[in-house]
Amino acid sequence: MTTRLFLIRHAETTLSVEDRFAGSTDVLLSDRGREQVRGLAHRLATFRPAAIYASPMKRTVETAQILSAPHGLPVQTDARLREIDHGRWEGLTRKEVEAQFPMESGMWIADPYNFAPIGGETGRAVVERAVPAIKEIVAAHPNELIFAVSHKATIRLIIGYFLGIDLKGYRDRLDQRPACLNALVLYNRDSATNFTNFANPIQFVQFVALLKKAQSHRRDRRERGEHGGKLSALRELCG
């Protein structure tokens, strides 16, 4: 059995615009962020999720509520999907962190999976709480499509785990812009059979256009009585 998971980063906040560390800081979406997620909600309106999950932080809940509106589904929150806690770095810019805590900053850049600033959380700790949450969601929704709204680092770590990536380098992979969509097909709760990342709306529009073209081609073949061949992983991702 497989579960299709649309793992979505929350939209823009005022702190993300300023490139400030805002893991445990409960900041709201910006006006531009609300526009971003409304656009994504419009593009996802034709999909049929069975459930919508979110981190309980304000920015993820608001993102999930806007996404859920076309589907009439409640947003189910799970604290294990919250963002990584940056401890005493919270609210600071990267330059401020480098100036005030140069040793901590250097150690974190070298290995963010196993090192955390004082009062903060390691990437490993995030995996230990977030991955079990995703596995439980997958187990509860076999052969269904699920939306889950989370955060930049948490999403990178979840995807890296399922793809078997060396998580010491999780920050250097998988672009996660605000309102980014990641589509995964999870099999037996422990591995991803297919993964597609849409860092911007244009990529998603191109993806849907390609999917529709493939579906149309498949219908034409059936009408002509032709058989054989398989639709690409795009069909499996979107059902």
Q: Which of 10, 86, 141, 151 is catalytic?
A: 10
DSSP the chain: -EEEEEEEE---BHHHHTTB--SS--PPBPHHHHHHHHHHHHHTTTS--SEEEE-SSHHHHHHHHHHHGGGT-PEEE-GGGSPPP-GGGTT-BHHHHHHH-HHHHHHHHH-TTT---TT---HHHHHHHHHHHHHHHHHHSTT-EEEEEE-HHHHHHHHHHHHT--GGGGGGSS---TT-EEEEEEETTTEEEEEEEE-SHHHHHHHHHHHHHHHHHHHHHHHTT-------HHHHHH-
Sign of the CA dihedral running 152, 154, 155, 161 = positive
Distances (CA, A) of 195 to 6, 99, 187: 10, 38, 12
Q: Which of 62, 83, 104, 121 is catalytic?
A: 83
The answer to whether 83 is a known catalytic residue is yes
Contact, 25 vs 57, CB < 8 A?
no
The answer to whether 71 is a known catalytic residue is no
Active-site positions? 10, 83
